Amino acid sequence: MQKRGSFKILFRTFILVGLFSQIACEIAPEKEVVTTPERELIARVIPEHADQFIVEIDSSFAEKDWFEVSSVNDKILLKGNNGIAIGSALYYYLKAYAKCQITWNGTNLNLSETLPKVPQKVHKTTPYDYRYYFNYCTFNYTMSWWDWERWEKEIDWMALHGISMPLAITGEAYVWDEVYKSYGFTDEDLTDFYSGPAYFSWFWMGNLDGWGGPLPKHWMDSHRDLQQKIVKRERELGMKPVLPAFTGHVPASFKKFFPEASLKKTNWGNDFEDTYILDANDPLFEEIGRKFLETQERIYGTDHLYSADTFNENTPPSNNPEYLANLSEKVYQGMQLADEDAVWVMQGWLFYSHRDFWQAPQIEALLKPIPNDGMIILDLAAEIEPVWKRTEAFYGKQWIWNMLHSFGGNISMFGRIETVATAPAEALQDPNSGNMKGIGLTMESIEQNPVLYELMTDNVWRDQPIDLNNWLATYTEQRYGVKDENLLKAWDILVQTAYNGKVIRDGAESIIVARPTFEGYRRWARTKLNYAPEDLLPAWDLFVASIPKTKESDGFEYELVDLTRQFLANYALPLQQKITTAYQAKDQQNFKKYSQEFLTLIDDMDKLLATRKDFLLGPWVNDARSWGITSEEKALYEMNAKDLITLWGASNNRLHEYSNRQWSGLLADFYKPRWEQFFAEVEKDWQHFDQAAFDEKIKKWEWQWVNQRKDYPLEKSGDAAAVVKQLYEKYRRQMLSVIKEMKPIDYNY
């Protein structure tokens, strides 16, 4: 009986304990989950597998960034000195062991439920103190309408790819507004100063005032908040943002408040109004420069890195070395008055774009007054022309080897792929490279040609040249999820053709995007290829043959569409020359025949590009309008978005088509109607067609298009592989015969 009673008491005790435990669990707050920026990064990139990673930060001996990847029991250990190192470790693991890839244009994250182990610990140290990212132009040709969600993805991409030093110029207008308002300037005084949102890059660089404005106050406030989020996240992950500094660009109303100020008038030369530069010797130069940096630091903080470009694409008033030395000394002093640890980051573009002016004495004079550790020069287009080789490695200054690659946001398969694979490490090892401290990406636009950006960022953790053949074999497996000999052969062809980087500076355009003409090119629609167009055909054959094996791959689909687009874009030129020949021969029948084929080609390209969101006009316009809170603001932003990618200014602007895009929606609604009007005008005045009169007429139509209200599809339509196969059957043979009949064009540029 005693035993049975004891059992009952014990049983009741268990019941009560269980009940109290359950109640306690329900009442007690959930245990707080300890998180860090690095763990949050992993959770954003691979949310379903984040719990399989251990993160350790150890910055105790970090002279340069480093990371380690290893397996610990059933977990993957990512170890490094900061968030960039952890992000790079994660991406190294995903590529090397899970055969994955993350790009703007196709992502492969096909991970097994249990991740593969690392057989032996991997340790990587970067040889570069700085890994720079962005160009002023990137902030408009690609990023004009980015919100925080899109910025967050890009900052993650930066961490995965080892970027440590991003340019951060969002929200600059808000700072300047505070500075000028402190001097008594009113909104009316500044209304013609700030540009519209699509033109900030050139406003910031002092090339133009006011175009695309007036800038709404809501934009300034919202982008102040956005910039605060951007720099906060970048710093959390270990990056050091480069903020802007004062270079002398002031409003035209400056004289109203400072009548004795010494101003110089300058003009960019692209049909914009004059801008005004405050003389560096004027006492106000240092005062305003200091006030700007102090205000900026209060709002956005600082990492002591400041971007300033004097005379960007403008010729200085004097080539006197003493004048240039004094100018740079004043710019640097203005920085130091506000921040004694200031380091001046200068884009070296002026030494490339205006090389006739910037000879050795002028370059040395500009750089010499600044301490070597107080300045970093960006050799902005080193893969095109390494300026460091003709400037004694920038006369002792710290400098960064950069790949520029992309101009204007244009859509073209192009790049100097072999140079990108070898030149950064060769420069690093060169005894004449002086104070080379880093590598970087200074493209005018992104979200295209992902192979170049994966290759360039692979240099971050290497000090030796990359073997391109081996690298491409690994790249294609990571990208397409399979090993495919056809695709490897196709890439061999692409390396020798589209990506050979010879003959032309940047990617060729299609005659389709040119303001209609009988000529084989126009000013910013440069159609000269760096290869014979028929030499690209075998690569197309191989990609089409690989459709059954790899059609589920996002990256493959992007390349398949882009390669098909490139063929059709190339084919437009010999077809347009057929039209020209028919007109010159006064052959109306063939003129009509080939004109219709040309318009059908545009329709086919539009249908093809509609199958990928990468190539849609709709998101660009919709994202622009989304920033507006009134109908007037929405209309202004839509105009900015359309104008940049077509006219690049007013109807007479010489930069028209500089930022042209081969996008679905733009082809059907802008390029095709222009050509239709051209063909109609030629037929109407068959004997005496006047090209100049047509140009004046079409400019008015273009300006109306820029300012009209219209929505375009936001989502892709159609099956990419099916559309490609249709176009392949339609054009493969026809294209080859027309290309072979094409007469040489005298490219006068």
pLDDT range class, residue 275, cuts 50, 70, 90: very high
Amino acid found at 219? W
pLDDT tens digits along 413-439: 999 999 999 999 999 999 999 999 999
pTM, rounded to two decimals: 0.94
In this prediction, residue 4 carries a pLDDT of 39
In this prediction, residue 27 carries a pLDDT of 39
In this prediction, residue 134 carries a pLDDT of 98
β-strand 106-108 against 101-103: which pairing, if any? Answer: antiparallel
Per DSSP (E only), the strands in 99-169 are: 101-103, 106-108, 122-125, 130-133, 165-166
Q: 570: which residues sit within 8 A by CB, 6+ positions away?
A: 508, 510, 529, 533, 536, 739
Query: Pick from 181, 171, 272, 246: which is nearest to 215 by CA?
Result: 171
Average pLDDT value for residue range 283-295 = 96
In this prediction, residue 270 carries a pLDDT of 79
Average pLDDT value for residue range 565-586 = 97
Kindly state the percentage of the chain with pLDDT values over 70.
Answer: 95
Residue 226 confidence (pLDDT) above 90 = yes
Residue 32 confidence (pLDDT) above 60 = no
In this prediction, residue 312 carries a pLDDT of 79
Q: Which helix (H) or strand (E) holds 366?
A: helix 360-367
Average pLDDT value for residue range 721-733 = 97
- Cα separation of 496 and 490, whole Å? 10
Residue 29 confidence (pLDDT) above 80 = no
Question: What domains sit in the chain, N to C, each tagged with a CATH number?
Answer: 37-125 (3.30.379.10), 130-210+249-466 (3.20.20.80), 489-741 (1.20.120.670)
Query: Pick from 106, 116, 107: which is nearest to 49 by CA?
Result: 116
Residue 499 confidence (pLDDT) above 80 = yes
In this prediction, residue 33 carries a pLDDT of 52
Average pLDDT value for residue range 120-145 = 98
Take residue 42 and report the two structure tokens written for it.
């992993």
Asked whether 453 and 446 are in contact (CB, 8 A), the reply is: yes
Amino acid found at 531? Y
CA separation (Å) from 643 to 335, 394, 658, 660?
A: 35, 38, 11, 10
Average pLDDT value for residue range 116-132 = 98
Q: Which residue has the tokens 């694979």?
A: 421
Q: 204: which residues sit within 8 A by CB, 6+ positions away?
A: 136, 169, 172, 244
Query: Pick from 573, 560, 543, 557: which is nearest to 741 by CA?
Result: 573
Peptide bond into 316 cis (omega under 30): no
